Amino acid sequence: MEGVSFEVVRSFNLSVFLVPFLPLLASVITLIFGKRYLREKPYILPVSALLLSFLISLKLLVDVLSGKIYEFDLYQWMVVGSLKVGLGFLVDPLSVMMLCMVTSLSFLIHVYSIGYMKGDPGYYRFFSYISLFTFFMLILVLSNNLIQLYLGWEGVGLCSYLLIGFWYEKKSASDAAKKAFIINRIGDFGFALGIFAVFYYLGTLYYHEIFPRLPQIAQTYINIGSYEVHLPFLISFLLFCGAMGKSAQVPLHTWLPDAMEGPTPVSALIHAATMVTAGVFMVSRLHPLFELSPHAMAMVALVGLITCFMAATIAPTQFDIKRVVAYSTLSQLGYMFMACGVGAFAVGMFHLFTHAYFKALLFLGAGSIIHALHHASDPNDIRIMGGLKRFMPITFWTFLIASLSIAGIPGFAGFFSKDEILVYAYFSQYPWGKLVWFVGLLVAGMTAFYTFRIFFKAFFGEFKGVEALHGHYPHESPKVMTIPLIIISFGAIFSGWLGIPEALGGGAHFQRFLEQVLGHPKLLPVDHAVEYLLMVLSIVAGLMGIGIAYLVYVKKPALEVFFSYKFKVIYNFLYRKWYFDELYHRVFVVPTLWLARTVVNLVLDSFVIDHTVNGSAKTTAFSASLFRKLHSGIVNYYNWFILLGVVIYLIYIFIR
Amino acid sequence: MVTLSLNFGSLALELFFLLSGIFIFMIDRFIKSKSYAFWLSFWVILGSMVFILFIPFGDFTRAFRIDFFSSSIKFLLLIGFFFVLLLSDTHLNNFPGLNFGEFYGLLFFSLFGIFVVLSSQDFLTLFIGLELMSIPLYFLIATQYVYRKESLEGALKYFIAGALSGGLYILFLGIVYYATGTIYFEEVSKRLAQGLLKKELLLGAVFFISALSIKLSLVPFHMWAPDAYEASPLPITAFLSGLIKFAVMAVLIKVLILAYSPLKIEIGKILIPISLLTILIGSLLAIRQDNLVRLLAYSSIAHVGYAVLGLVSGDFAGYGFSLFYMFVYLFTTIGSFGIMIYLVRANRGFLEIPNLAGICQNLPFISLLLLIFLFSLAGVPPTAGFMAKFYIFLMLVKSQYIGVAILALLVSVIGAYPYIRVIKVIYMDKGHLGYYKPTYPIFLAFSLIVATFIVILLGIYPRPMLDFIQRTLFLYISLQFLQL
């Protein structure tokens, strides 16, 4: 911990323990007894557990604000030399912030799901999985060592897999689940190697022991082949592989849009607000390691930048409302990594915080629309929407708030955090700061454009889904869904007010609070005049995006068709998502399948199985028949063997 | 000169068991009720579990001593015995033609023998204890001969092996007495510590280990085991492979520390090939088995092999890990035999593995429990079997027996195969056998739940149990240091 002194509580604390374990308990009970006893109301336990967890998190927040930090080991599973594996908790400003965010959103999304999932045959299963997810996410956030972080990391991955494939009878859903799982394996392979490397070179896995030992490796280079590799860069790279998988950054991003096959509350909680931000959290948690290597920082910034830009270009071409929002999530995650890449970790976390609320709100709003249109064959298609403003006023207003927030309109949460990222990037000491700022600004405009594209297409104009709905008209969602929407929309406005920058007369309390853990970014001298100019620019970019969207989708709908025909090549390139899926299919999937089907079958069948396996089977059969002869039940053999044993031992002793 | 103390208080529990056994035999003729013997044993054992906590430490002559080690191991064995009783009740109810009273009376005599073994302070008392422990078992194995004639054969085989074991033991006893003129553990240890008679006593140790190897069914002294296990009633198989082996392992460790401490490295070296061969042959034979009981019999051979691996380094911590291994194995055995008793109630054919195909569809709960116990036997985390193996391997690596550790690890891969195969059959194959779904008798359900709980708990949180077992050895170890 830098600078500020905290009182560190090292004894067991029940409330810290309860925060993750209440959801676990609720999940297990619901899973076991849900089918038989809780068929009608399986949500009671998870929802109340989450509410309690949230209240306890608030209490912990107050404790941390008053200068306390909890750090203790719950128990140790195994101790081998310096390798300690166990459960431990660390509650400091960073984790308590995540704690409050995760529990509050998870609670509200649980409530929302009561309405959204009603009538589904897997009602109880859904609640069990989603609170199990919350447990793993809290374990991830609260951990005080890398192994437990990894446990939580894999746990949320598992729950994500289960929930993407929740409607497993749909082939696309189970395919998407598998895709998410396999792509995450690639990232996690690197992540595990990174953890091994940390242990190998630093001899510990506990954060509080890792950080003081980092100077030991600051100047270490190791040889890989004929290259000299800077050790901190290598470790950061390996760990960042995990972050790329979990936070869906290029080139491991393709699973996230497909993950939208899962129920919408899952998309809101897991694939927007919490799990996908785990990568950002991990990078921030280990920021001293990343900061040792400028190359690692450049890598983080660059990957974030590419993802951010790429996703922003794909989003406007998609017609599935959830996929558009998913691409915007990719893009916003890129923003957070950009912030980390210029050393502004606290600001990155600030954006993570505000993003969680407005993105969850966008998703839940989309879910509300989908719920209203669920009679249609494809309720996600924005082409059958339109004019929903009349039918669903609450969804309309909350969706508007979320859209304004993500577009960076002053006064809304997204504005403050996005603007902070741009300012810190511009004034960053890192040479790529200006590039990050420029792309960030560009993407800000694009974000506003595609967000309002779906907004206008869904809520304005005439309702186009009469046929698809077989004459039904959509209606507002039940209260149990709209009330969480309303509550989260407060978050989408006011969560940004916690960190109003100094230039606007605020105190940037949020960033100061986190900088106690995450350190101050290295900045060039800040010129306030320039800062105002940057702000105005980003506001202008946002407004222009909205303006163009209004022009294209409300005023002159013909323009949309015109553009997509005029620039057909580019349009197709973007519509096919930069051909990433096709590329991976050609490069990885097809050769792997070929290898599996032809080579392995051929070689293994003819050589390995026929000779080795059947050979060993023959050997076993032979020895078994030998043994059977010996185990024929004739006691004389038994006694012979006993005497033989004794004699062999005697000989052994005498010739020794 | 040591004064003889005749402290009957320390002998109370043993006398209690003896009297209970005799009492059952005396009144068995006159009581028509089938269940009285079970309830009598039930309460006697429950009482003893409380009673043993209050038995004062002390001597009954120089030959018999109650101390922390013996009382702790006895306590653990009593818990195991209690579950064997519960399983016996469930099992015997399937065979109403048998004489139940005898069964429990003989169990008491055998338990009496086990307790004498654990408390003995000289080699002669130990011998008497071993025989007391074994003789009732020859009868118990043959309990079911009315229903299955071949069970007589198994009993006879065990008897012959036991007789050979006794013969070898007497040889050992003769050598020790001839060489040292004493039969007390401490005296032998003193002679050895002075550097005397190493060669003679090592020769004796070979016979001693061979004799106990027969009880522990180590290769090549193992051949009686599958026959005897298959012949006996299921609870007796659990008793044979869980409790008896635990007790013999405990007393082997006691003798190694108290009497043979200066030779423990050499003895460890003798044990290396035995244990590796035991694991290998036990696992290999288990692969070919289609009968669940025979599979577990061979697996019991292999598991004692792992436990013996803890003794090869001669490290005291390793001894603790061996005991821990046997304790874990005891409960895994109770669990898996409990499941078999249930399966037999459903359909006698379920003891053949191919018939288990697809039972997860109709008996999901019992399949899950079987999965847990099989995972524990195979050593898959987070079950106790993993932890037990892990600590044994850890010990080997720490004491520089890396080659042995690698060999054992390789063999343990083979050893996992038979269990995984059963799991595959249960969960992936299509079922074909008819059965009816029996109810869970309360005692069976209780035993299964407790065994599952222990197996999972020790897999997640083994520390307190390990520390406790290590602590039971502290006194003996410190005695050694005092002597040196």
Q: What is the pLDDT of residues A160-177, one digit of tens each?
A: 998 988 888 888 888 888
CB-based contact B210 A624, cutoff 8 Å: no
Q: What is the pLDDT of residues A123-139, one digit of tens each?
A: 888 899 999 999 999 99
Query: B231 pLDDT exceeds 60?
Result: yes
Tally C-beta pairs within 8 A across A and B: 65
Query: A311 pLDDT exceeds 60?
Result: yes
> What is the pLDDT, as a whole number, of residue A1?
41
Contacts of A625 in chain B (CB under 8 A): none
Is residue B113 assigned to a domain?
yes
Q: Residue B284: which of A75, A77, A623 has the nearest Cβ?
A: A623
| DSSP state at residue A567 | T
Q: Is A75 on the interface with B (CB under 8 A)?
A: yes
Q: Residue A650: which of B206, B285, B461 has the nearest Cβ?
A: B206
| DSSP state at residue A464 | -
Contacts of B210 in chain A (CB under 8 A): 642, 645-646, 649
> What is the pLDDT, as a whole number, of residue A457?
87
CB-based contact A620 B161, cutoff 8 Å: no
Query: B21 pLDDT exceeds 60?
Result: yes
> What is the pLDDT, as a whole number, of residue A633?
65
Q: Is A649 on the interface with B (CB under 8 A)?
A: yes
Q: Average pLDDT in the A43-70 region?
A: 91
> What is the pLDDT, as a whole number, of residue B359?
82
- Using pLDDT thresholds of 50, 70 and 90, give the confidence band for residue A2: very low
Q: What is the pLDDT of residues A545-573, one digit of tens each?
A: 999 988 888 888 777 778 778 788 888 88
> What is the pLDDT, as a whole number, of residue A632?
61
> What is the pLDDT, as a whole number, of residue B173?
94
d(CA B343, CA A558): 73
Contacts of A641 in chain B (CB under 8 A): 220-221, 223
Query: A609 pLDDT exceeds 60?
Result: no
Is residue B394 assigned to a domain?
yes
Write A209-212 long-range contacts (CB < 8 A, 24+). Answer: A210/A146, A210/A286, A210/A289, A211/A288
Is residue B404 assigned to a domain?
yes
* Dihedral Cα A203, A208, A210, A216, nearest 10 deg: -100
Q: What tokens does A200 get?
A: 């190998």
Query: B325 pLDDT exceeds 90?
Result: yes
This prediction has a pTM of: 0.76
Query: A629 pLDDT exceeds 80?
Result: no
Q: What is the pLDDT of residues B276-318, one digit of tens each?
A: 989 988 888 887 778 888 888 888 999 999 999 999 988 888 9
Contacts of B220 in chain A (CB under 8 A): 641-642, 644-645
Query: B344 pLDDT exceeds 90?
Result: no
> What is the pLDDT, as a whole number, of residue B127?
95
Is residue B1 assigned to a domain?
no
Please state the three-class secondary structure of chain B as a single string: CCCCCECHHHHHHHHHHHHHHHHHHHHHHHCCCCCHHHHHHHHHHHHHHHHCCCCCCEEECCCEEECHHHHHHHHHHHHHHHHHHHHHHHHHCCCCCCCHHHHHHHHHHHHHHHHHHHHECEHHHHHHHHHHHHHHHHHHHHHHHHCCCHHHHHHHHHHHHHHHHHHHHHHHHHHHHHHHCCCEHHHHHHHHHCCCCHHHHHHHHHHHHHHHHHHHCCCCCCCHHHHHHHHCCHHHHHHHHHHHHHHHHHHHHHHHHHCCHHHHHHHHHHHHHHHHHHHHHHHHHHHCCCEHHHHHHHHHHHHHHHHHHCCCCCCHHHHHHHHHHHHHHHHHHHHHHHHHHHHHHHCHHHHEHHHHCCHHHHCHHHHHHHHHHHHHHHCCCCCHHHHHHHHHHHHHHHCCCHHHHHHHHHHHHHHHHHHHHHHHHHHHCCCCCCCCCCCCCHHHHHHHHHHHHHHHHHHHCCHHHHHHHHHHHHHHHHHHHHHC
The proportion of chain A whose per-residue pLDDT surpasses 70, expressed as a percent, equals 94
Q: Name the more confident of B2 and B346.
A: B346
Q: Is B203 on the interface with A (CB under 8 A)?
A: yes
Q: B233 near B89, Cβ under 8 Å? A: no
Query: B2 pLDDT exceeds 80?
Result: no
CB-based contact B223 A631, cutoff 8 Å: yes
Is residue B468 assigned to a domain?
yes
Q: Is B224 on the interface with A (CB under 8 A)?
A: yes
Q: Average pLDDT in the B322-338 region?
A: 93
Q: What is the pLDDT of residues A46-59, one digit of tens each?
A: 999 999 999 999 99
Is this complex scored with an ipTM above 0.90? no
Q: Which of A392-406, A586-600, B69-83 has the lowest mean pLDDT?
A: A586-600
> What is the pLDDT, as a whole number, of residue A590?
83
Q: What tokens does B394 get?
A: 């850890």
Q: Name the more confident of B75 and A601.
A: B75
Q: Which of A8-12, A215-219, A506-510 has the lowest mean pLDDT?
A: A506-510
d(CA A262, CA A278): 19
> What is the pLDDT, as a whole number, of residue A603?
66
Query: Nearest-CA neighbor of B188 among B124, B266, B261?
Result: B261
Query: B368 pLDDT exceeds 60?
Result: yes
Interhelix angle A321-341/A433-459, rounded to 10 degrees, is 160
Q: Which amino acid is at A17?
A: F
Is residue B3 assigned to a domain?
no
d(CA B458, CA A401): 53
What total number of domains does chain B contain?
Answer: 1
> What is the pLDDT, as a whole number, of residue B261?
86
Q: Residue B164: which of A637, A642, A650 has the nearest Cβ?
A: A642
Is residue B2 assigned to a domain?
no
Q: What is the pLDDT of residues B375-398, one digit of tens each?
A: 999 988 889 999 999 999 988 988
Name residues 617-646 of chain A within 8 A of B (Cβ). Answer: 620, 623-624, 627, 630-631, 633, 635, 637-639, 641-642, 644-646
Query: A614 pLDDT exceeds 70?
Result: no
Q: What is the pLDDT of residues B108-153, one digit of tens each?
A: 999 999 999 999 999 999 999 999 999 999 999 998 887 888 888 8
Q: Is A652 on the interface with B (CB under 8 A)?
A: yes
Q: Is B460 on the interface with A (CB under 8 A)?
A: yes
Q: Average pLDDT in the B460-464 region?
A: 87
Q: Residue A653: which of B153, B203, B226 has the nearest Cβ?
A: B203
**Mean of per-residue pLDDT scores for chain A:** 85
Contacts of A74 in chain B (CB under 8 A): none
Q: Is B161 on the interface with A (CB under 8 A)?
A: yes
Q: B18 near B107, Cβ under 8 Å? A: no
B214 is in which domain, residue-wise?
A: 8-483
Query: A628 pLDDT exceeds 90?
Result: no
